[in-house]
Amino acid sequence: MTEQAVAAVPRRESSVLRFAKGLALIRESWVGMVGLVLVLFWVFVAIFAPLLAPFPPNATGAPLTLPGGPSLDGSAVHWLGTDQLGRDILSRIIFGSRQVLLYAPLATLCAYLVGIPMGLAAGYRRGLTDDVLSFVANVILSFPVLVLYIIIIATIGASGTNIVIAVTFASAPGIMRIVRGLVLDLRNREYVFAAETRGESPWRIMLVEILPNARGPLIVDACLRLGYVVITIGTLGFLGLGLPPPDPDWGGMVSENRQVAMFLPYIAIFPCIAISSLVLGFNLLADGLREVSLRD
């Protein structure tokens, strides 16, 4: 064989390009597109927060200004009004998106990094490994989630890192179960037998032969889970277990102003809209991904 013959074979396209092509398929589902637009909107807001926000997030002005009211010096408008301390609600929502979009993906990623190996090991090795891991998972899953969060945060304190730890601890068992279920099916494929008959190591089989084929359902699940984590972060903020004040936090904003929410509902409603639009975005994106992946 000549060298030219080898060189004539084009290189395979980069995995980045293939991923982008896969993502482009979402255009075929309008539900998915709506979700993607919502999510990208908040990503954009988070990235350009300092440019978009009319006020610094912790700057105080006239308290309880109604939406559309002018600022103290009259140079700008509080489009969504101010809270009890006179902080601009729009600006706090804009800056709050940074917190959510940092910690929610980080926590989800950590949960997957723990859950996937557990699920792979349980599903592929079966036997005692499976029994032990499944038992641990079942114990954790048997706690009411909220109680679990409160216990963890109350023990280790409220901070961004601890939210990540708490979410990882509470979500990893669920992820483990999904991965385990997928592996139980995939481990009986003939390409896995082929890998076994050539003496591949178990972890190589799990990570190279099995895991890539489970990616479809896992990507959809990750999207849904991101939405849940956004809710969780909001809930923790509302319970005062979220990010410490005075940094803006959507859940915290609802909670801080709940005494006046009866008379001035906008103060609580706007952060709520922010939370639900982001969660809706993730859920619709997940639906779209599922729809696209089920075709063909």
Partner 1 sequence: MASKDHSYTGPILECRDLCISYFTRAGEIPAVIDFNMTLEQGHSIGLVGESGCGKSTVAMAIMRYLGNNGAIVGGQVLYKGRDMATLSEEELRQLRGNEIAMVYQEPMASLNPSMTLGRQLMEVPLCHENIGEKEAYDRALQILSDVNLPDPERIMSVYPHQVSGGQQQRVVIAMALLSNPSLLLLDEPTTALDVTVEAGIIELIGQIASKYNTSMVYISHNLGLILETCDRVNVMYSGVVVEGGAVGEVFDHMRHPYTKGLFGCIPLPGADKAARPLVPIRGQLPLPHQRPPGCYFGPRCDFFKEGLCDREGLKMTPVPDEPGHDVRCRRWQEIDWSTYKPEGVGAGATQAGEVVLSLNNMKKYYEITDNSIAAMISGKRVRHVKANESISLDARASETVAIVGESGCGKSTFAKVLMGLETATDGEVFFNGKDIAQQEVQKRSPEQVGSMQMVFQNPFDTLNPSHSVGSQLARVIRKFGVETDKDRIEQRVMELLDLVKLPRDFARRRPRQLSGGQKQRVGIARAFAGNPSTVVADEPVSALDVSVQAAVTGLLMDIQKSYRTTLIFISHDLSLVRYLADRVVVMYLGHIVEQGTTDEVFAPPYHPYTEALLSAVPIADTSVEKTRIILEGNLPSVTNPPSGCVFHTRCPRFIGDICKTEEPPVVTLGDGHRIACHLPLAELQSMKPVISLARAPQTPAAE
Which of the stretches 68-76, 109-117, 185-193, 284-292 binds partner 1 when contact is defined by CB under 8 A? Answer: 185-193
Residues 100-129 that bind partner 1 (CB under 8 A): none
Q: How far is CA 253 from the centre of its chain?
A: 20
Q: Does 199 bind partner 1 (CB under 8 A)?
A: yes
Kindly state whether residue 1 participates in binding partner 1, applying the rule CB under 8 A: yes
Binding mask 202-231 for partner 1 (x = CB under 8 A): ------xx--xx-x----------------
Burial class of residue 13 (count of CB atoms within 10 Å of its CB; 0-12, 13-18, 19+)? exposed
Give the interface size with partner 1 as a residue count (CB under 8 A).
Answer: 24
Give burial (CB, 10 Å; 0-12/13-18/19+) of 52.
middle
Q: Which is nearer to partner 1, 57 or 123 (CB)?
A: 123
How near is the Cβ of 8 to partner 1 at its closest, in Å?
8
DSSP string, 125-177: H-HHHHHHHHHHHHHHHHS-HHHHHHHHHHHH-SSHHHHHHHHHHHHHHHHHH
CA angle 92, 247, 111 (to 5 degrees): 105
CA 103 from centroid of its chain's CA atoms: 8
Q: Which of 191, 245, 246, 277 binds partner 1 (CB under 8 A)?
A: 191
Helix axes 215-238, 160-186, angle to 10 degrees: 150
Which one of 124-132, 162-170, 197-205, 277-285 is the stretch in contact with partner 1 (CB under 8 A)? 197-205
Pick between residue 75 and residue 197 the one whose CB is nearest to partner 1.
Answer: 197
Q: Which of 24, 40, 62, 194 binds partner 1 (CB under 8 A)?
A: 194
Backbone angles phi, psi at 29, to 5 degrees: -115, 120
| Residue with token string 């901070």 | 159
- Shortest CB 108 distance to partner 1, Å: 22
Is the Cβ of residue 189 or residue 258 nearer to partner 1 in the bound state?
A: 189
Residues 10-29 that bind partner 1 (CB under 8 A): 10-12
**How far is 29 from 295, CA to CA, in rounded Å?**
11
Residues forming contacts to partner 1 in the complex (CB under 8 A) are 1, 5-6, 8-12, 189-191, 193-194, 196-200, 208-209, 212-213, 215, 295
